[in-house]
Amino acid sequence: MNLSFFDQFSSPSLLGIPLILVSMTFPALLLPSLDNRWVTNRVSTLQLWAINLITKQLMTPLNKKGHKWALILTSLMVFLLLINLLGLLPYTFTPTTQLSMNLALAFPLWLATLITGLRNQPSISLGHLLPEGTPTPLIPALVLIETTSLLIRPLALGVRLTANLTAGHLLIQLISTATVALFTTMPLVSLLTFLVLFLLTILEIAVAMIQAYVFVLLLTLYLQENI
């Protein structure tokens, strides 16, 4: 019984072929295709408004040098947002519950921000490893601590996204299982658990959007330190 709760996190396959790439590219099919006209319908207007809002929020902490990252950061935000929300639908698979995928997104982007800082301003980037005014005996320990905190940033990004989405999916499955099991024996209790399930689903929708935003926002802050 306990193993079945985690079956939803296993990568689906068809005839031995993993379908995780299909689930990752499916959100792109939901976006309306581009047209020569500026405004085609309400869906494209809503899409352009949302992308403009996301780009504005992400680019606010950055200076003009960081605005060249707008395309990749906004695309990542939309990608994570659609995948997280689609994963809440019944009988669907959420790729962002896989730690390997989240690390594959976090590590290259974090490394790009680090290399950007070392190339453009090496002294300032290395200066983050040693706070100003540090006592001489504490310098080796602080350099080691700051280096460790710098290197675990991509791991923290991936684990945060994976843990929050996995915990939410498990809670939804546990409460939905209890709702169905109690429906015949205790209908009133089942109704209460269904109400809890409804509220939890609304909360998970908010968590899916917030976690996508936090993932990209932290990358934006890492970029801000290095430009």
Does residue 9 surpass a pLDDT of 70? no
pLDDT at 155 over 90: yes
Torsion of CA 111, 114, 115, 120, to 10 degrees: 160
- pLDDT value for 35: 63
Interval 118-138 mean pLDDT: 78
156-167: average pLDDT: 92
Q: Say which residues have a Cβ less than 8 Å from residue 129's Cβ, sequence separation at least 6.
A: 142, 143, 146, 147, 150
Residue 160: the pLDDT is 93
Region 19-37 average pLDDT: 68
Angle at Cα 93 formed by Cα 92 and Cα 94, nearest 5°? 125
pLDDT(215) > 90:
yes
The pair of structure tokens assigned to 204 is 């998970």
Taking a C-beta distance cutoff of 8 angstroms, is the pair 172, 197 a contact? Answer: yes
What lies within 8 Å, CB to CB, of 166 at 6+ separation is: 9, 97
Please state the separation of Cα 99 from the chain's center in Å: 11
Residue 187 has pLDDT above 70, yes or no: yes
pLDDT at 1: 44
Rg of the chain over all Cα atoms, to the nearest angstrom: 22
Range with lowest mean pLDDT among 6-10, 129-133, 190-194: 6-10
Q: How far is residue 157's CA from residue 105's CA, in Å, rounded to a whole number?
A: 9
Q: Is the dihedral of CA 211, 212, 216, 217 positive or negative?
A: negative
Amino acid at 147: T
CA distance 218 to 81: 15
Q: Tens digits of per-residue pLDDT, 101-121? A: 899 999 999 999 989 888 888
DSSP, collapsed to helix, strand or coil, labels residue 14 as strand
CA distance linking residue 10 with residue 105, whole number of Å: 19
Most confident of 6-10, 139-143, 184-188: 184-188
Average pLDDT across the chain, whole number = 83
Q: Does the pLDDT at position 79 exceed 70?
A: yes
